[in-house]
Amino acid sequence: MNCSKCLQKAVFSSPALCKNHFLAYFESKVKETIQKYKLLPNKKIKLVVACSGGKDSTVALYLLNKWGYKPTALAIDEGIKGYRPHTLLDLQKFCRENKIPLQIYSFQKEFGASLDKILKKLGGHPCYACGILRRYLLNQKSRSFDVIATGHNLDDESQSILMNLCNGNLALSANLGPKTGAFSHKKFTERIKPLYFCSEKEVMAYSLLKEFEVSYHECPYAYLSFRGKVRDGLNELELSEKNVNERLVKNFIGLLPAIRKKYSSAKEPQACRICGEAGRQEICRACQIVEQLVGNKTTVLKQQTSC
Amino acid sequence: MEVYLERENKKRNLKFTGTAKELLEKLGINEAAVLVIRDKELITLDEKIKEKDKIKVVSVVSGG
């Protein structure tokens, strides 16, 4: 197969493009998303990129840095043995080589236990505790920034849309989209997804072609997740229904204004009684987890105020 | 030929000639979820694979 724009051999099938044309295509897709959805109105904006050391966030970090947005990288070390230490080493090397400031916060230091220890003690689904605590720290530690960019791609988004539908949790879908949030709140840092329209395959191809030294492995807990099952199902469907992820996301974007309108009048977030962070309940879900973990409310109060 | 399946961290030796797409079918791998690399170069699924080629199949799924 040859490149649809020149006579070179294609390295990517759909669209059929050679290396140089694929890199240009990918970058212009990300640029168009940033411009069309006004993700970053100017280069003075204080930008932080949520990084894991994996391909998606590294690609987002690389491009935003390349285009002069002067990002800071922010990573959360959940404490997943045999997985996260490697990805963080890759991230540290990448940031050092590209002169990007990096901040790393760990569950162990912030909550008193690694994810592995939390799961050992509390049981339950790994993604539940991990997701809540990771989002909590990302939000809290990005407060001195205007915007937090994540590496979420098209496949991530289509999976989230389906998962929320399956779980009857449409209110969560109001927070999806290239720029998240059905409402703004002083304690929520606005989140943007520059890779929103790039498929996971395109992000992987870009990362491989740029020869980024990143881990291409999966979180050891991922096989347990509902997301993993939805992803595999969508990939199966993709074989007979081309661009199923893209179709899902593009049709969802058409519905998003109505979903946001419906849920914008939902109850305003309130300050958590323990840590003061914004949440939907009297005690935020992160504090509920920590409370279960230490089994002592006083200790929780002390721990949280030291954050 | 030698095929390295990165996700499983496994090497397989097999007798095969055909396209990359046919190779994935033979291995029972969903083409929507992987990229194929030959000698460090990304290749498209219509590429003919020869007996002496070293192939790497990379899952596009990573992270958490």
Contact A68, A218 (CB under 8 A): no
**Smallest Cα distance from B25 to chain A, Å:** 12
Between A84-97 and A55-66, two packed helices, what is the crossing angle to 10 degrees? 10
Alpha-carbon distance values, A192 to A173, A177, A250, A267 (Å) = 15, 8, 17, 23
> Is B63 a residue whose pLDDT tops 80?
no
Alpha-carbon distance values, A133 to A17, A288, A293, B5 (Å) = 41, 10, 13, 33
* Banded pLDDT at A281 (limits 50, 70, 90): confident
Q: pTM for this structure? A: 0.92
When CB atoms are compared, the residue of A19, A215, A238 closest to B32 is A238
Are A208 and B42 within 8 A, CB to CB? Answer: yes
Q: Give A13-57 pLDDT, tens digit per residue.
A: 999 999 999 999 999 999 999 999 999 999 999 999 999 999 999
From B46, which residue of chain A is nearest by alpha-carbon distance? Answer: A1
Q: Please, which residues have CB within 8 angstroms of residue B5's CB and are 6 or more apart in sequence?
A: B11, B12, B27, B29, B57
Query: Which candidate in A201, A203, A210, A227 is best for mutational testing of the B interface (most B CBs within 10 A)?
Result: A201
Give the DSSP H or E segment for B35. Answer: strand B34-38
Highest mean pLDDT pick, A75-84, A150-159, A283-292: A150-159
Domain annotation for chain A: domains and CATH numbers:
19-266 (3.40.50.620), 274-307 (no CATH)
Domain annotation for chain B: domains and CATH numbers:
2-57 (3.10.20.30)
pLDDT for A180: 81
Q: Which of residues 223-252 of A touch B (CB under 8 A)?
A: 231-232, 235-236, 238-239
Phi, psi of A106 (to 5 degrees): -115, 150
Q: Give B24-62 pLDDT, tens digit per residue.
A: 999 999 999 999 999 889 999 999 999 889 999 999 987
Determine the Cα–Cα distance for residues A234 and A153; give it in Å rounded to an integer: 14
pLDDT for B43: 97
Determine the Cα–Cα distance for residues A259 and A175; give it in Å rounded to an integer: 9
Bridge partners of A204, per DSSP, are: none
Are B62 and A215 within 8 A, CB to CB? Answer: yes
Rounded to two decimals, the ipTM of the complex is 0.95
